[in-house]
Amino acid sequence: MKTITHKISLHNILLIIFLFINSYASGQILTKESATKLITDDSSITESTNAILAADSCSANDFTLSNFYLADINGNPLDNNCTPGVPQSAYIFALFSANTSANRYSLYIDYDVFINGAFAYHVNECLYNGQAIPVGQNLQVQSITWNCGDQIQLKNFYMAWQSNAGRPCSTNPSKCYFNADGFIVNAPLIANFESALVCNSYQINFTDLTTGGDINNPYNYVWNFGDGSPTSNQQNPSHTYSSPGTYTVTLTVTDNNGVIDNQSYPVTVYPILSGLTLNTTNVPCSGGTSGSITASGTTGGFGNYTYSINPQPSGYTQNGGQFNNLPAGTYTVTVTDENNCTISETETIITGDSTVPIINAPNAILVEGCDSEDVINGNVTSLPYSESLITISELQFTAEGGTFTEDNVATITYQDSSSGSCPITVTRTFTITDNCNLSASATQIITIQDTINPV
């Protein structure tokens, strides 16, 4: 007989030991008391984990979890004696069942927790590590902080178990279950709603936010709007109140199992925004930016008001409801309250003066003399001869016999020129200028002639 002997090197021995330890460690999952939960908001990690678990195509049905529900630490289903949104300690229980008389051991579970339809965190946990899994009873799966009324769903639900005693928690392709849709955790019926006002009316729109109870069948609704009006059985009704005020609205919900819950909230109906008036200051002259609009008189709505104007010309300034440095144009001012309700008015700033003045010079006159300085002889005119520009008053101009049409007179001037000698012809030019620097001129002819023979 030939004996074959293999010589095993130290390197190979160490490699075998390493592989054995690594394979054993990779299969170890902590017991329930010291289980590790991976909590993350990184969806890529979750999706990667799900892909690995789902690849097992688990379909074993000799062990099941069902009827997930919220409970106290003793497994008693939570009641609906809580206020929506208020957190409280709770536990997720489920019915552990087996379709065989043989024991199953070391339950490994892995799933995503979704709250109100949004991913919250990821869980993996070992229950009854190395022990027989109890069946035929409701047992705790997870502790949780539950905000009253939240809907909890366990998605991408994977679990695996062992057929033999003493084997630790781990994934198990032959004894596992996977459900991507997972389970909705049964919760107590919690009636809840929200309301939204409709601006410029006394209408309130109500939205049902009820959760829990028998979610597989429609709820029955009774809305009491708190104003003595008939109740409504709609899920999301609208109601128009007759006047502003605060009303206690109560929603009573009954599920298909006859469980009843109700919720009441005060709902305030605010006065309709009204009374907005706009006072304008027009721009005196074309091209100016000295116009202004003042908004005032608004009442109703809720809270403080904010003001805005449209269009918003370059260089304009605002102080509350006062808008300054506005050019001529049409503007819409909007007042907004803290409910985001609005009231608007439109006003136009016009140019106050865009018309050229109208001026008529005094009639021509004849003055005795033979020198331009003789223009004032006989007091026919009181304005002395001047080849320089002279400013006179409106009263002086009209006393000379002149007339004008202009509401915003800035200056009236005259200036003389002469020609000839005995007779001398004086051309007197009157010019009127308004505040917008628009002007007009007219001339008066004064003849200075010596008609008296020497003595």
**Do 251 and 284 share a domain, yes or no?**
no
In a domain, 14, yes or no: no
What pLDDT is attached to residue 58? 83
Secondary structure of residue 394 in the 3-state scheme: helix
> How much is the pLDDT for 349?
96
Q: Could you say which of 353, 377, 411 is where a domain stops?
A: 353
| Residue 171: how many other CB atoms lie within 10 Å | 18
The predicted structure's pLDDT at residue 11: 37
**390 and 413 part of one domain:** yes
Instruction: For residue 424, tell me if it sits in a domain.
Output: yes
| 334 and 378, same domain (yes or no) | no
> pLDDT tens digits for 265-292?
999 999 999 999 999 999 988 888 999 9
Structure tokens at 107: 């339950």
Instruction: State the residue range of the domain holding 170.
Output: 55-185
Residue pair 154/66 in contact (Cβ under 8 Å)? The answer is: no
Whether residue 237 is contained in a domain is answered as yes
Q: Is 34 contained in some domain?
A: no
pLDDT at 451: 82
pLDDT the model gives residue 89? 97
> Domain ends where: 353, 380, 400?
353
Both 125 and 70 in one domain: the answer is yes
Q: Is 25 within a domain?
A: no
Q: Are residues 68 and 172 in the same domain?
A: yes
- Give the number of domains in the chain: 4
What CATH number is attached to the domain comprising 169? Answer: 2.60.40
For residue 388, which phi and psi values (nearest 5 degrees)?
-95, 155
Rounded-to-integer distance, Cα 404 and Cα 430, Å = 11
H/E segment holding residue 398: helix 394-399
At 38 the pLDDT is: 38
3-class SS letters over 14-71: HHHHHHHHHHHHHCCCCCHHHCCCCCCCCHHHHHHHHHHHHCCCCECCCEEEEEEEEE
Residues 384 and 421 in one domain: yes
pLDDT value of residue 46: 43
pLDDT computed for residue 232 by the predictor = 98
Residues of the chain with pLDDT under 50: 1-56
User: For residues 203 and 232, what is the distance between their CA atoms, to the nearest angstrom?
Assistant: 15
Say whether both 335 and 283 belong to one domain: yes
